[in-house]
Amino acid sequence: MNAIPSSSQVSDAFGFRHIFVPASEGGEQAPPLLLLHGTGGDERDLLPLAAQIAPGAAILSPRGNVSENGMPRFFRRLAEGVFDEADLRAQTQALTAFIDQACEAYALTRPVALGFSNGANIAASLLWLAPDRLAGAALWRVMRPFPQAPGIALADKPVLILAGASDPLIPAARSQELASALGEAGAAVSLEILPASHGLTQADITITARFLASVGKAGAD
């Protein structure tokens, strides 16, 4: 189990088991982070990475409400790489309500989503269905959530997509499809294909830290 900061709050409020970590000294100007874990993860999984990527930033980290053979997920799938679209829409709506309520309760501005695999996929769904809830998104090992185009113009929404060149679960081509769709909808998309598999590497951390610094600077301008 990953340790959590002593200043954090663990709660079951707003429909999701979650951890909230308030901003600490030096991180008040950084955008809040919405951490979205992969299959089998939980609300603690991405905390150590977030501390490296954006030290001191406020963190909102929910656990997915769907269980697949005992492993937490954010939505159901019909098979490997085949989403249950109806459930994805329903769970995205639930996550949208969570973001609204948690941001109000914790006095947060709109967060930047950091999502890995299943968590990245529901973050992509948020960009599709409720992009105003996010200030941006960094998506690790992600694929397109829906076949149709996003329903809302994304108006230069900053999005980073990091794919693994040798990822056997989410081939880089599927991340490229997402990047193209988001770009066509108006998002400011940066796609990088790394010499990696499905797991995260130091390059993911370094590139994401640079991306979040740019998002924070843009928000302060």
pLDDT digits (tens, 9 = 90+) for 32-79: 999 999 999 999 999 999 999 999 999 999 999 999 999 999 999 999
Residue 37 catalytic?
Answer: no
Is position 20 within any domain?
yes
Is position 4 within any domain?
no
Is position 195 within any domain?
yes
The model scores a pTM over 0.85: yes
Is position 136 within any domain?
yes
Q: Catalytic residue among 117, 125, 175, 204, which?
A: 117
Is position 45 within any domain?
yes
CATH assignment of the domain containing 189: 3.40.50.1820
Residues 41-54 pLDDT 10s: 999 999 999 999 99
Query: Which structural domain, as residue segments, surrounds residue 144?
Result: 9-220
Is position 18 within any domain?
yes
Is position 2 within any domain?
no
Residue 18 catalytic?
Answer: no
Q: Catalytic residue among 18, 37, 167, 175, which?
A: 167
The domain total for the chain is 1
Is position 1 within any domain?
no
Angle at 8 between CA 209 and CA 99, to 5 degrees: 70
Residues 119-150 pLDDT 10s: 999 999 999 999 999 999 999 999 999 999 89
Contacts of 206 by beta carbon, 8 Å cutoff, 6+ apart: none
